[in-house]
Structure 1
Amino acid sequence: MEPTVIFLIGSAGSGKSTIGKLIASEYHFCYLDKDIVCNKFTGRLLESNGYSPHDRDGNAFYSDVVMGLEYQTLLDIANDNLQLGRSVVLDAPFLGYFANKDYIRQLKETYGWTHVKPLVVQVTIDFDVLKERMQARGLERDAWKFDNWDAFVQGIKEKQCLWEDIEIIQLDNSPAVVDIEKLRQTLPFEQSPGPSANPLA
């Protein structure tokens, strides 16, 4: 049974973490959140170069130097799990890589994923709901987004995932409560119970 790597994409505040943890829990997948994996190191790296530890949006040093290291670290950890037969949920925006149509093919070649099934689950959300949820969570790193809300929303609309050679599943997370039954019907997993994935009960 081949392991699956889920690229869980969507805007900040869309509820990727909630969806990702539900999938990981129900199917016994490994769950990797880029923020948890990298935030402390990223913050220190930004500070050591004269920036706020929360200064990511619109920061050329972050986008040109730090971001690539974050994603490489995330993918390296994911690959270790995949090589052990453990399916993985990757909770990260991946926005900076959307325009590269060959991104998935390149990852397959880099990591030798001949036995791995890649899948995109794109979490979408109504923008009014998105703003309310981001205000409720009160994170410092969202300050730029609120100060430039129209540009932030326009950027989300313009950055479409152009990856080829991968299935993309859309999942609307606008409702206040996740519809578990809809999630079960949306995801294409019908494996028998095992170390890589368990079907929903």
Structure 2
Amino acid sequence: MTQRHRYREIAQALHTDIDAGIHKPGEVLPSSRNLAEQWGVSRGVVTQALGTLVDAGVIISVPRGGYEIAPGYETALRASATRPHVILIGGYAGSGKSELGRILARLTHWPIIDKDTITRPVVEAALETLDRSYDDRESDDYVRIIRPREYEALASTIDENIACGTSVIATAPYLREFSDPTWAARTIAHYTAQGADVHVLWVRCSIETMQLYLRRRGAGRDGWKLSNWNSYIADVDTNFTPVLDHTVIVNDPDSEPLQDQARAFLASIGAST
């Protein structure tokens, strides 16, 4: 493709970036000089590409020679979108938070992001690199080095969904996070600024229910807990209460079924099932 015909390639790439949300409404696009350097073409070719997008109603020219997304185009792109929901589900190991997340996902068809699912292979490799068992979730190395990165990956994946206007269900213990007022305030502000409604669910159950579930699950990462049960439960607070506004879901044998509690919660936030 000759340089003079590359304007189509550039226009299509910019159009794709705008549709994907890489360039946000009101954001001024990179200058024609920067785009020319990025693509290795003349400024004239870039100007032609930008002119194509102007003619298509995708961008508009703004004072001082810049370009930004046309308000009408962005409105049309988001016409069918609704304000996304972010549901953060926390609870001790064995409480049933993952099951609740899956029930909510089946009812809403929203994506579920489970911390262990999206990070486990990398976490196991990192632990082995540190000469730890791949099932280790108790050592200082895991807590200090690896755990923060797990939650960083989870948060980034949530952000990707919100940027696309997609509601998301995230499951993780969130024990430290839900007890930290600074984290709570920062997280709520962050998601709210992105145009999302944030909901916190805390799944609560008895010690007996936790132990029963962990034994039935048989996951390697629960091995230390089960082998050192009395030591483990000494640090478990069955009455833990998140510092954020939240909904408690009780998951004991004599409790209301999780599906019924999930439906009631969704109805409370106006989410259709």
What TM-score do the two structures reach when normalised by structure 2? 0.64
Aligned to 1:39: 120
Contact 1:8/1:89, CA 8 A, preserved across alignment: yes
In the alignment, what sits opposite 2:100? 19
Q: Name which of 158, 172, 180 aligns with 2:259.
A: 180
* AA aligned opposite 1:151: S
Asked whether the 8 Å contact 1:121–1:171 carries over to 2, the reply is yes
Give the whole-Å Cα distance in 1 for the aligned partners of 2:226 and 2:174: 21
Q: Does 1:132 align with 2:226?
A: no
**Displacement, 1:100?**
1.3
Aligned to 2:160: 80
Query: Unpaired runs of 5+ in structure 2?
Result: 1-81
- The code of the aligned residue for 1:130 comes to M
Gaps of 5+ in 1: 192-198
Match of 1:169 among 247, 251, 255: 247
Q: CA offset at residue 110 of structure 1?
A: 5.1
- 2-side partners of 1:124 and 1:68: how far apart? 24
Question: Which structure would you say has the larger RCO, counting Cα contacts within 8 Å and 6 or more residues apart?
Answer: 1
> Deviations for 1:151-195, whole angstroms, at most 9, x for unmatched residues?
32232207835434xx2101111238934233312332324xxxx
- What SS does the aligned partner of 1:6 have? strand
Say what the alpha-carbon RMSD is for the aligned residues: 2.2
Task: Output the CA distance in 2 between the equivalents of 1:13 and 1:146.
Answer: 11
Q: What is the CA–CA distance in structure 2 between the aligned matches of 1:133 and 1:148, rounded to whole Å?
A: 16
1:140-159, aligned counterparts within 5 Å?
Answer: 140-157=220-237
Tell me the equivalent position of 2:18: none
1:84–1:48 Cα change, 3 Å = same
The letter for the 2-side match of 1:97 is E
Structure 2 CA distance for aligned equivalents of residues 137 and 101 of structure 1 = 32
Aligned residues: 190
**Bigger helix share:** 2
Q: Secondary structure at the match of 2:104?
A: helix
The 8 Å contact of residues 90 and 201 in structure 2, kept in 1 or not, is answered as yes
Per-residue CA deviations over 1:47-78 (Å, capped at 9, x if unaligned) read: 01100000112x11111111111110111011
- 2:121 is equivalent to residue 28 of structure 1: no
Q: How high is the TM-score relative to the length of structure 1?
A: 0.85
Q: Which of 149, 153, 157 pairs up with 1:69?
A: 149
Q: Which amino acid aligns with 1:12?
A: A
- In structure 2, what residue type is equivalent to 1:182? Q
